């Protein structure tokens, strides 16, 4: 449970930075594109500093596919909050339906957890004398 919470919190923080880097500039169209790109890169740096440890901590507890789908659900959740409060874009029923389908994807892959590694031959020999 601790690993899951750590991974989710790191991914939420990571996706918050990335959403701001990708979409935060949309309210500042008067700012030069080069300046916007540089600012976005600086904002994205903490995203990588959080995303990489989240994936490293989560891999083994989750499969890579599970991590990616969890990340996508978090990314879309963070974006929905950002779009509503920062860009003043209200979600529609289609947005909600799409989100439900993505949550269903998480449920589908959740059962595909990491498989226990097969014991090595020498370990099997010591288990069955």
Is 101 inside any structural domain?
yes
Query: Which residues does the chain have with pLDDT short of 70?
Result: 111-129
CB 25 within 8 A of CB 39: yes
Residue 129 within any structural domain of the chain: no
In a domain, 8, yes or no: yes
* pLDDT of amino acid 33: 95
Structural domain count of the chain: 1
Would you say residue 120 lies in a domain?
no
Contact (Cβ atoms closer than 8 angstroms) between residue 11 and residue 57? no
54-72 pLDDT, tens digit each: 999 999 999 998 898 889 8
| C-alpha–C-alpha distance, residues 88 and 8, integer Å | 26
Domain residue limits at 79: 2-114
Residue 109 lies in a domain: yes
Dist. CA 11–CA 79, nearest whole Å: 13
11 within some domain: yes
pTM: 0.75
């Amino acid at each position: 449970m601790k690993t899951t919470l750590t991974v989710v919190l790191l991914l939420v923080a990571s996706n918050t930075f990335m959403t701001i880097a990708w979409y935060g500039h949309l309210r500042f169209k008067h700012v030069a594109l080069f300046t916007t790109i540089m600012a976005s890169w600086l904002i994205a740096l903490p995203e990588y500093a959080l995303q990489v440890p989240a994936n490293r901590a989560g891999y083994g507890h989750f499969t890579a596919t599970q991590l990616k789908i969890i990340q996508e659900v978090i990314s879309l959740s963070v974006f929905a909050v950002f779009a509503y409060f920062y860009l003043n874009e209200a979600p529609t029923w289609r947005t909600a339906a799409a989100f439900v389908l993505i949550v269903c994807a998480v449920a589908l892959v959740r059962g595909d957890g990491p498989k226990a590694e097969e014991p090595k031959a020498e370990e099997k020999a010591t288990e069955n004398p």
